[in-house]
Amino acid sequence: MLWSLPLLWACFAPATLTALASPGKPLSRRWADVAEVHSWNEIPRGWKVLSSAPPDYPLNMRIGLKQYGMDELIENLLEISDPTHPRYTQHLTKEEANAFKAPHKDASQAVDEWLAFHDINLSSADRTPSGDWISITIPVSQAEALLNTEYHLYEHLSSGEQVIRTLRYSLPRELHAHVDVVAPTTYFGTLKSMKATSFLLPNVDPVSVGDYVAQAASEKHSAGAASENNPGAVLPSCNNTITPACLRALYKTYDYTPASTDKNALGVVGYLNEFANKMDHQMFFKTFRADVPATNAAGFETVLVNGGQDDQSKPGVEANLDIQYTTGISYPTPNTYYSVGGSPPFQPDSFTTKNTNEPYLDFIEFIYKQDKIPQTLSTSYGDDEQTVPRDYAERVCKEFAAIGSRGVSIFFSSGDSGVGGGACTTNDGTNRTTFQPSFPASCPYVTTVGATVHINPEVAIPFSGGGFSNYFAAPAYQGDAVSNYLWDYGTRNKGMFNRSGRAYPDVSAQGVAYQVVVRGMVTPVGGTSASTPTVASIFALLNDHRISQNKAPLGFINPLLYSTLSSGFTDITQGSNPGCGTDGFSAARGWDPVTGLGTPDFQKLLKLIEGL
């Protein structure tokens, strides 16, 4: 059943002097003076409007109150992440972080009074422990009154997913000092429209189990005594085929045995109904980690988040890639795969209260409530930064800072479109051609991973996402490294990117021809989705070493990367990431926006953290 066709978005009344009130309720002057929070100039690309939203359809709405101590929390984060600071790695407890995240009492009171005016039962509101998020379930008609807007039903053209969103929303001016963001509103990035940063490689022949074993044996035999004296030698086949043995040799983790498996853990965050299959995982270990006893090869736990599932009959390429390589490198470190749900398909007559489709917020809300969080998290998804409303992106980025303050290293892939895919035009109405940064890769409180290819030497791969944020300023920790690159880069591609923005990636690793078992068959996969769990696993091992010495985990590592650890990476100086009709950026000596600081050398990194 289709609902009545909507007016064009250009016909929305401007949110200035009047606001909608609940039906039959006189307008309050206090709440009538409204101002716009965010709006789109046009329907986001890749979406089409279908109809007005059903007025009685229930929305699970989140209101993000400004976190009164967030600036102080970030100051703490930078202190405890600075290896030269006396408080280095003195991470915050859950309670301490919650205290910083709490809103001011005036904010809570004002928002409660606003909700009460609109006849919302405050006793039914769900609040986070710190009180910085309020969740309410209300019908669309009431949400429209709250936000002085109109909701519509939209469809994602490529996936067919349908969501209820609006092109603009407003709040009473009084609340602008108290509220960061309201969702769902103008953020159209949903589970199915998000980009998993991996892809199949149909032109690359997979390795059969028998051929792999035979080839590895042959290469070791031909290497003779050199192989016996150097068990970590990188085999020639690694130039075309990536396996755990290749990565463990190339990045020098092959002879490290984790010693803190009772305390250290690694988490992989998965979306898009991507399920990590345990039978495939066992076959992967039998083939590519034959040194591990078969009884131990199950190797990971699955945790369901916000309606996530674990359908073992539908193994996912992305999920299998991530979990097979994190466990393949970090074994026997405990690994957890977080299967994040979201909303079921839109149905006008449904009364679900989980129709949020806000993947980052769903996971953040879940993980922050946990008393214990894995010391390392890896995520291989993202959106073009310009498709994420700025208020939403800034709040999510702060939430990552809060998680990092509790001693967690958060890794995100840099994307697989170089400096930008497609036409690379802006969505602000000007249709200018510019480079397109990715989010959350552009958040300064996560560690972003690019991709390389080949060995002896490794070179940047053209799809490796990299560039400069248009939302977030360049953090001080990377100032010198980025300034040096930009000085040498000169005026090339002038005006195509924000020279003062947060630059990424921070580091990189191999990103092509990973051998992944899917439905019992070996499948070659590539992308920064492959390089990200690789780097995350290496830092999980570094955390293991620190914990074994009764030291705190590394936590937010970016300030450390650009200082003490900068010499612990193999500098990548060849290759580029073209896009948007340009040559993009080039790899260069030192940091560059294609491969970051380079690829990890675990043995060097291990020595560098010894004195911390």
pLDDT tens digit sequence for 248-277: 999 999 999 999 999 999 999 998 778 999
Q: Tell me how far CA of residue 112 lies from CA of 25, 127, 179, in angstroms.
A: 18, 12, 12
Q: Known catalytic residue: 119?
A: no
CA distance to 458, 516, 594, per residue, from 462 (Å): 13, 22, 8
> Which residue among the candidates 280, 318, 416, 601 is catalytic per the annotation?
318
> Any known ligand binding at 592?
yes
590 is in an annotated binding site: yes
Q: Which residue has the tokens 């599932």?
A: 309
Pinpoint the residues of the chain covered by CATH 3.40.50.200: 199-609
Fold of domain 199-609: Rossmann fold (3.40.50)
Angle at which helices 390-404 and 70-80 pack, to 10 degrees?
50
Q: Which residue has the tokens 């991973």?
A: 449
Cis peptide before 389 (omega within 30 of 0): no
Which pLDDT belongs to residue 342? 61
* Set 322, 358, 362, 416: catalytic member: 322
pLDDT for residue 282 is more than 60? yes
Percent of the chain with pLDDT over 90: 76
Choose the catalytic residue: 39, 135, 339, 529: 529
CA separation for the pair 594, 599 (Å, rounded): 12
Count of positions (residues) in the chain: 612
Active site residue 322: yes
Interval 342-395: pLDDT, tens: 654 455 544 444 444 566 888 999 999 999 999 999 998 888 899 899 999 999
Does the pLDDT value for residue 24 go beyond 80?
no
| Dist. CA 206–CA 216, nearest whole Å | 15
pLDDT of residue 205: 58
318 is catalytic: yes
Question: Given a cut of 80, is residue 212 above it in pLDDT?
Answer: no
What is the distance between the alpha carbons of residues 559 and 580, in angstroms, rounded to a whole number? 31
Picking from 127, 110, 115, the residue whose alpha carbon sits closest to that of residue 177 is 110
Q: Is 255 marked within a binding site? A: no
Omega cis (within 30) before 505: yes
d(CA 303, CA 208): 31
Per-residue pLDDT tens digits for 540-592:
999 999 999 999 999 999 999 999 999 999 999 999 999 999 999 999 999 99
Helices of type H across 153-241: 209-223, 225-229
Give the pLDDT of residue 298. Answer: 60
Integer Cα distance of 212 and 208 in angstroms: 6
